[in-house]
Amino acid sequence: MNGAPGPFKKGDLIRASLGKDMNFSEDVDIRMAAAWAFATVSVPQILFFTRDCLYIVHRNLAPIHLDRWAIAVLFSGTVAVICGLAWWTLWKGSPSARLWAVAASIMQVAVFVRSLIVPPRAATGYHWGALLIGVIGLGVFTLGRKRET
């Protein structure tokens, strides 16, 4: 086509940002928003994981406290890895993206539930954002529209 481009269609911004000519479904915008939400969630979890590992290494903890810190380290590391994989597979359009996104959504709900069981510091509060991301992610990736052929 030699004429000026027509109006933008849904997903043009994402196609331009990825630099690829991909065939996107109608709900690509919400899926990409979820992918970036998972990416932004994984960064603080990596920082928590690193902080907790350094705390364990540099402190002499009594055995009763060591298992609590080990659970915290493993939990933060697991959340970071699963959310990072969900972001990566959604961004790349991998066939396993839906599975990783459901797993990351479940982990976000677990982050909220953990904040109810282990009370957070007064400054951090409960993780309402994690619950929101988890519930929306579960809705989008488990109840999403089936593709028409």
Whether residue 135 lies inside any domain: the answer is yes
Find where tokens 């959310």 sit.
83
Of residues 90 and 72, the one with the higher pLDDT is: 90
pTM over 0.75: no
Question: Which span out of 10-14, 44-48, 101-105, 111-115 was modeled with the highest average pLDDT?
Answer: 101-105
Residue 68 lies in a domain: yes
Is 3 a domain residue?
no
User: Is residue 21, in this structure, part of any structural domain at all?
Assistant: no
Assess contact for 42 and 79: CB atoms under 8 A.
Answer: yes
- Cα separation, 78 vs 73, in Å, equals 9
The span from the CA of 74 to the CA of 53, in Å, is: 10
How many domains does the chain fold into?
Answer: 1
HSE (CB half, 13 Å, CA atoms) of 72? 19
Tell whether the torsion through CA atoms of 71, 140, 31 and 133 is positive or negative: negative
Range of the domain at 62: 26-142
Q: Within a domain: residue 2?
A: no
Is residue 148 domain-resident?
Answer: no
